[in-house]
Amino acid sequence: MTRLLLPLAGLVVLAALPGFVSEYGLGLMIGAVTYVTLASAWALFSGYTRYISLATVAFYGTGAYVVAVLNEVLPYPLVLLVAALIGGAMALVVGLSTLRLAGVYFVIFTFGLSELVRQLITWYEVNVTGTLGRYIFLDISARGIYWQMLALAAVTIGLTAWIHRRPLGLALRVVGDDETVAAHSGINLARTKLIAFVLSSVILTLAGAIVSPRWVYVEPSIVFNPTVSFLTVIMALLGGANRLVGPALGAVPLFLTFEWLSANFPDTYSIFMGLLFIGVVFALPEGVLAGVDRLRARKLRAAA
Amino acid sequence: MTDLIVDNARKDFGGLRAVNDVSFTLGSGEIAGLLGPNGSGKTTLINLISGALPPSAGRIALGSVQLSGRRPDLIARAGVARTFQLVRTLPSLTLIENVMITAVFGSSSHWGSAARRVAEEALATVGLADRANAAAADLTYIDQKRLELARAIAAEPKVLLLDEWLAGLNPTELQEGIELIRSLTRSGISILMVEHIMDAVRALCPRVLVMNSGRLIADEATGAALSDPAVIAAYLGEDEDA
């Protein structure tokens, strides 16, 4: 019980926070929790399997676009449901066709996928509907968005913790270490990877759908910004992609850093981002949490 | 009965026929050695049986269950376990988790304490019980080999394929390894073992299969095979000059 008590208390505190911060502060909190969700959902698939996906924004942007298209036609909960279904279906098709790809080919494919989705929607909007941008007028307050995103983040981390204790979690860890051993031990590789990829993608899609009313105006170049995919990867790696709270731990400080950089150095901030990306991969390939563990082990050995 | 039946198994890699219409039957509980010079197709044959590679032609079955043409995970679930020539352990998992996976995902589909118990027994069999919660990344080479065998045992297999499992052991470890394999045959597992250490083959295998250039050139009692002129010629490489 105590294992659950602390996270629940933390969640209550986080849920109560909007009452004590400014509008600007709330905006920052929404951004931070969004990236906590994205990085945690990304790690649910990529952290376990070590298939580095750059398709985050393909799903995130699709979620936002579903809301943009349907927000005046369907009630909001149904819009979310449709977004989740579309994200899941997309992941199923993509997963079936790509999860056989190894290493760098998978990375490149997922990056290409994001571009493909963006170009398809652009083409459709220009040639079929005759517009490029769309408006989202939904009567959802910033607090409402924050609470929804916080709930999604909590569900994501809770789901990851639950899977970790199930055969699926063990199978995913084996796949991440050695697919050959996994297959010869009786693990169905395709099914294992597909389940995790679909779950992860549905959450990414929902995150895009939930945050989209903040933007009011959306167009493909805004919602399918590849930076989102890269940021998600670097956040998860910084915290530790194979730890339960690693991605969340990486997401919050990095998001705040990038907010500050982009506000103060609008022209050069992507240079800092690139440097940080390189730095993380070189210095902490397994994340901060693993680094802390190693340091602690060294101290223990020195003390002994 | 659950005989392992290999019927005209063939594997082509482009123009190279790595396994050339090999046929044999391994009886239930039987142990046989698989010999042959380097590149003769032994590991490829192991890969065909375990499903790592699909055969180009022929049929492989375990009793009435067809193995050839199926995915490796289904073959594993049908009761075929294997070790690898280059040892493969899972470095980010603990020893007990390394071993548990075949108990969880193999034919018996255990979970929770049942899977743990099977894994603990398998670790005890290979002498690693006291390190169950250590990380596999920290193991020495010989302990990695033991761990790999424990993983195969925990699958509770009908057939065990060992690919040079005894290679690289020192004389003491070799004696332990031979005893370990002998104890497995007593529990009724059929074993096909690729092996270059003749002392081990003589000690363990009443029967050997000998391959050369993809073909099965001998399938007979071990003593007879090791004095068979064709087998000796294959090992000394005389046929290459002919």
Chain A hits for B151, Cβ within 8 Å: 181, 185
Q: In what order do the strands lie in the sheet with B57-62?
A: B16-26, B4-13, B57-62, B65-66
pLDDT at B240 over 60: no
Residues of chain A with Cβ-Cβ distance to B52 below 8 Å are: 180, 183-184
From chain B, pick out residues whose CB is under 8 angstroms from the CB of A186. 73, 76-77, 101-102, 105-107, 155
Under the banding of pLDDT at 50, 70 and 90, the label for residue B237 is: low
In angstroms, what separates the C-alpha of B242 from chain A's closest C-alpha? 39
pLDDT at B169: 87
Q: Which residue in the set B88, B101, B107 is minimally distant from A180, CB to CB?
A: B88
| Domain count along chain B | 2
The CA distance from B106 to the nearest CA of chain A, in Å, is 5
One domain for residues B53 and B172: yes
pTM for the predicted model, two decimal places: 0.91
Q: Is A264 on the interface with B (CB under 8 A)?
A: no
pLDDT per position as a tens digit, B84-131: 999 999 999 999 999 999 999 998 888 889 999 999 999 999 999 999
Q: Which of B156, B187, B208 is the last residue of a domain?
A: B156
Rounded Cα gap, residues B231 and A197, in angstroms: 52
Domain residues for the domain of B122 are 85-156
Q: Which CATH class is domain A14-303?
A: mainly alpha
**Do residues A175 and B93 touch, judged by C-beta distance below 8 A?**
no
Query: B233 at the A interface (CB within 8 A)?
Result: no
Contact with chain A for residue B93, Cβ under 8 A: yes
Asked if residue B209 has pLDDT above 70, the reply is yes
At residue A235, does pLDDT exceed 60?
Answer: yes
Q: Which of A178, A180, A185 sits opposite B106 (nearest CB)?
A: A185
pLDDT band at B242; cut points 50, 70, 90: very low
Task: Give which of B150, B153, B161, B151 is closest to B60, Cα–Cα.
Answer: B161
Q: How confident is the model at residue B238 (pLDDT cuts 50, 70, 90)?
A: low
Half-sphere exposure of A293 (CA within 13 A, CB side): 10
The answer to whether residues B103 and B222 belong to one domain is no
The reply to whether B40 and B93 lie within a common domain is no
Please report the ipTM that was assigned to this predicted complex. Answer: 0.92
B80-82 vs B159-163, strand pairing mode? parallel
Examine the domain organization and report whether B100 and B165 are in the same domain.
no
Position A270 scores a pLDDT of 82
CATH number for the domain spanning B222: value is: 3.40.50.300
A246/chain B closest Cα distance in angstroms: 16
Task: Judge: B92–A181 Cβ closer than 8 Å, yes or no.
Answer: no
Q: Report the half-sphere exposure of B91 (CA within 13 A, side-chain side).
A: 6
Q: What are phi and psi of B32, to 5 degrees?
A: -135, 145
